[in-house]
């Protein structure tokens, strides 16, 4: 790799395994840093490697515990900036607070914009992320954002399963664009479940728009935490006479409630990525695909001043 001696990859504590896999793909050692906490909970960071005039990438999804992981990232950025790094790129496979992207009630914050401002103020020069909850979040940043998609990795896996009579289902109206892209890539039909959210953890699925009877279905979403949307959509689809039900989710931030719901659900397999550490004990239904190569290639191209957009192409196309 040209200029690889100038490249440094560090990891916060949020997802060390992913950072190690990315570094291995790039043929680089993971940067030497101490990231720990004082007894009172304050984060302490010490960068042991020389980063002066280096191109530094910090891998840190801001998944739960979100506030801790964001603060840890900010402190790492500050330490590296003060050590005279040439450029700092925050590699945030899962961007927490992305759903707080607008004022949908009086007197509420737009926290996604706040986090974007804080990252830039701390010294981040560039952000590499994947499958943001809403595309317009890129505009919240006043620094460059490279936005990758898990779709090539997911479609490659799903295509190899050779599921017949497949229909891709959007679990809500907001997910139609993403589901439509998957349907086109897989040569499948498209349907929509119309839902109503009762609380943060409870969702009612109301109607299915599209032909699903006698079909195998793939529910596509960007994130699941409680699995309420997925399992209620699957329940509704089962009443419409579908065959096998699969779900594909870019970010599986699974809670205890999600694991319970998935175990008792109609979903045969939940296909996701390692954008966040997928919790132990998630059951046999969860299939985790690696995005280390995707992110590693993104890092390689950013470092080399190459285009990142060709990563959006599907592997089999």
Contact yes or no for 49/8 (Cβ under 8 A) = yes
The parts of the chain modelled with pLDDT lower than 70 are 1-5, 195-197, 200-205, 280-282, 313-317
Cα separation, 200 vs 176, in Å, equals: 21
* Sequence-distant (≥ 6) Cβ neighbours of residue 309 within 8 angstroms: none
Q: Are 208 and 193 in contact (CB under 8 A)?
A: yes
Q: What's the rounded Cα separation, in Å, for the pair 306 and 78?
A: 27
Quick one: which of 20, 251, 18 has its CA closest to 154? 251
Q: According to the model, what pLDDT value does residue 314 have?
A: 61
- pLDDT score for 133: 86
**CATH code, 151-289:** 3.40.50.2020
As beta bridge partners, residue 45 has: 35
Res 282: pLDDT: 67
Q: Can you tell me the distance from the alpha carbon of 220 to that of 227, in angstroms, rounded to the nearest whole number?
A: 12
pLDDT at 310: 78
The pLDDT assigned to 1 comes to 43
Largest CA distance in the chain: 62
The pLDDT score that the predictor gives to residue 205 is 58
Tokens 């790492």 correspond to 76
Out of 161, 195, 215, 235, the active site residue is: 195
The ranges assigned to domains in the chain are: 4-149+292-312, 151-289
| DSSP-assigned states of every residue in the chain | -TTGGGEEEEE-SS-HHHHHHHHHHHT-PPP-EEEEE-TTS-EEEEE-S--TT-EEEEE----SSHHHHHHHHHHHHHHHHHTT-SEEEEEESS-TTTT--S--STT---HHHHHHHHHHHHT--EEEEES-SSGGGGGG-SS-EEEE-SHHHHHHHHHHHT-SSEEEEESSGGGHHHHHHHHHHHT-EEEEEEEEE-SSS-EEEEEEES--TT-EEEEEEEEESS-HHHHHHHHHHHHTT-S-EEEEEEEE---HHHHHHHHTSS-SEEEEESSSPPPTT--TTEEEEP-HHHHHHHHHHHHHT--SGGGGS-TT-
Find the angle CA(92)-CA(1)-CA(56) to the nearest 5 degrees: 35
Q: What pLDDT does 4 receive? A: 55
User: Which two tokens mark 8?
Assistant: 């440094």
Is 160 designated active site? no
Full strand arrangement of the beta sheet holding 55-59: 7-11, 55-59, 87-92, 126-130, 145-148
CATH number of the structural domain 4-149+292-312: 3.40.50.2020
**pLDDT at site 317:** 38
Q: Could you tell me which of 74, 87, 92, 91 has the C-alpha nearest to residue 125?
A: 87
């Amino acid at each position: 790799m040209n200029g690889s001696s100038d490249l440094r990859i560090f990891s916060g504590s949020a997802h060390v395994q992913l950072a190690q896999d990315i570094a291995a793909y790039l043929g680089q050692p993971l940067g030497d840093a101490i990231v720990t906490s004082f007894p009172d909970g304050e984060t302490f960071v010490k960068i042991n490697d020389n980063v002066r005039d280096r191109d530094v990438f910090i891998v840190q999804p801001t998944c739960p515990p979100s506030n801790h992981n964001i603060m840890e990232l900010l402190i790492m950025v500050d330490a590296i900036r003060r050590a005279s790094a040439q450029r700092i790129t925050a590699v945030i496979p899962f961007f927490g607070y992305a759903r707080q992207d607008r004022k949908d009630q009086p007197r509420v914050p737009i926290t996604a914009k706040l986090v974007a401002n804080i990252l830039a103020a701390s010294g981040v020069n560039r952000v590499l992320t994947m499958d943001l909850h809403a595309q317009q979040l890129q505009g919240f940043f006043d620094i460059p954002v490279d936005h990758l998609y898990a779709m090539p990795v997911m479609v490659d896996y799903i295509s190899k399963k050779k599921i017949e009579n497949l229909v891709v289902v959007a679990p809500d109206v907001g997910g139609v664009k993403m589901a439509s892209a998957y349907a086109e890539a897989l040569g499948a039909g498209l349907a929509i479940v119309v839902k109503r959210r009762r609380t943060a953890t409870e969702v009612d699925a109301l109607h299915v728009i599209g032909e699903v009877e006698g079909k195998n279905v793939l529910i596509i979403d960007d994130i699941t935490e409680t699995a309420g949307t997925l399992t209620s959509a699957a329940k509704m689809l089962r009443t419409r006479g579908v065959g096998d039900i699969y779900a594909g989710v870019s970010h599986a931030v699974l809670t205890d409630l999600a694991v319970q719901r998935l175990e008792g659900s109609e979903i045969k397999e939940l296909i996701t990525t390692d954008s966040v550490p997928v919790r132990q004990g998630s059951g046999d239904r969860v299939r985790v695909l690696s995005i280390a190569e995707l992110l590693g290639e993104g890092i390689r191209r950013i470092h080399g001043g190459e285009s990142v957009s060709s990563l959006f192409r599907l592997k089999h196309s």
